[in-house]
Each structure stands twice: as structure tokens, then as C-alpha cells.
Amino acid sequence: MKKFAKILLACLLSLLALIASVLAYSEWIVSDARHYTFDKVSDVPYNRVAVVLGTSKYLSGGGPNHYFKYRIKAAAELYNNAKVDYILVSGDNATLQYNEPRQMRRALIKAGIPASAIYMDFAGFRTLDSVVRAKEVFGQDRFTVVSQGFHNERAIFIARHFGIDAVGFNADDPSAYQGIRTRIREVFARVMGLVDLYVLDKGPKFLGEPVHIGLPIPCLSLSTIGTQQPCIKPPKPAEEPAKPAIELPVAPSAASASVAS
């Protein structure tokens, strides 16, 4: 019995050591992307587009989500300091009642950002989706990611894995008490990020028709790009010019034939 207990204890300790090693490795390799993040807007290099990673405007209890508030503030700061020309808000739109991109767009407009400078990606279900879709759908192979620092590190790590030249502008962090659950979740998200990239070889859940940032988009009813953006209505089919009527020769009547004779 004692021998079995020792074996069980050894297995548990080995498992804990393995988990700790994986967590430490994921933290180390992802944190290396910290060199590409910036805390001051004056230090951020110019990129044409900022990609704001989505989060809900409100917490589950109904209170304001400061992660959302500070990301909007950071994105507006980039735009107002001419560090970006356009803002792509990317988030979850899983249901009609839950729409992160639309919430972010409204908040940015309220902050003074022109609506024409904001594009929405409704299929940013995960960080990987937001980052890869910014390249594959919205045509951006370099951009500035906007989120909190710990989230930016993971996003940039993913971006560079896919050959994207991304940097990050770190939004302010909520207090340690408010953010403790998010920080714990981020630890495991980093591990899953490594699994997604190096084991499962995952890509975005959806791609879709290309969208050219800076040009009006076609007015298509695609949930992945949204319909409340500047768009071009499809041209009406050209109408063919009316053909002139062809006059058919009228056969002479019997009366006119008798007169002629």
C-alpha cells in the first residue's frame, strides 16, 4: 500500500512539474514579443491600420469593463496622434445581442473618430482569428495591435508566426484586483496558443471576401465584415437602348389594286 502511495505521489509530482514547465515555457516564448510593444504613443511607429482586439463593453455583473474603456482610449490616441489612418475593430458577434465590434465602433465615434476611418470585423472570435483575418481578409501584413500589454504580447507572437509585421500599443491596465481573473486566463491562453500553432495548426474559423481598407466596401450582407461601414451599392444592370421599330411593307388592298388597273 505504501509503495502504491509513493508511486502515485511521484506521478502527481511529475505531472505538476510538467505543467509548471509548459506554463513557464509558454510564458517565456510569448513574452519575447514584449520587445515589439510600446507604452507611450510617441514611441509607436506609424502603421496605416490599428487592430483593436475585442472585449465586451460591460462585465457579466453589468458594470463597466475597463479593459474595453482603455482600449478605446488607446485607439483614439493613436489616431489623434497620426500614428494610424484607419482603425479595424475586431471581435465576437456570436449572437444578435452580443456584438463587440459594433460596441467598439460606437465608442470610437463618441470619442471623436470619424466613422469613415473605422472598419469592423465581426469574426474575431479569438485573438488568432482577429490577427490572421486582418491579413487574409483586410489585406494588412503590418499593423498596430491595441490591447493591454499581456494580450498584445500573445497577439504579436501569433502575428509574427504568420509572417505579419505587427507591433503593439499597450492600453492602460485595470487594477490588479479587477484584472486577476483575466491574468489567470491569459496564462492558460498562452499555452493553448502554442498548441494551436505548433500542434493543431489552427487558422481562423472564417475567412471571406477581401475588404480593402481605405476604399468603400461592397454592400454585402456578410456578418463577417458588417453592413454599417462605407459601402458601394452594386451598379444597376445597364439597360439596352431601345431598338427602332422596323416598318413592314403594307400589302396593297383590293380596292387600291383595282384603281391602279
Q: 261 is written with which cell numbers?
A: 388597273
Question: How far apart (Å, rounded) are the C-alpha atoms in residues 219 and 231?
Answer: 5
Among 118, 95, 122, residue whose Cα is nearest residue 230: 118
Domain 35-218: CATH architecture, name and number where available:
3-Layer(aba) Sandwich (3.40)
Q: How far, CA to CA in Å, does 34 sit from each of 46, 76, 112, 216?
A: 18, 22, 30, 35
Question: How far apart (Å, rounded) are the C-alpha atoms in residues 246 and 66?
Answer: 75
- Give me the tens of pLDDT residue by residue for the chain, a chain 261 residues long: 666 666 666 666 656 655 555 455 445 556 678 899 999 999 999 999 999 999 999 988 888 999 999 999 999 999 999 999 999 999 998 776 789 999 999 999 999 999 999 999 999 999 999 999 999 999 999 999 999 998 999 999 999 999 999 999 999 988 655 566 666 777 667 777 777 777 777 788 888 889 999 876 666 554 444 445 556 555 565 566 656 655 555 555 544 444 444
Q: Which residues contact 184 (CB under 8 A, 6 or more apart)?
A: none
Whether the CB-CB separation of 167 and 44 falls below 8 Å is answered with yes
Q: Which residues contact 55 (CB under 8 A, 6 or more apart)?
A: 65, 67, 68, 71, 91, 100
Locus of grid cell 493543431: 200
Question: How far apart (Å, rounded) are the C-alpha atoms in residues 50 and 48?
Answer: 7
Counting Cβ atoms within 10 Å, is residue 180 exposed (0-12), middle (13-18) or buried (19+)? Answer: exposed
* Strands laid side by side in the 165-171 sheet: 37-38, 165-171, 142-148, 49-53, 86-90, 118-121
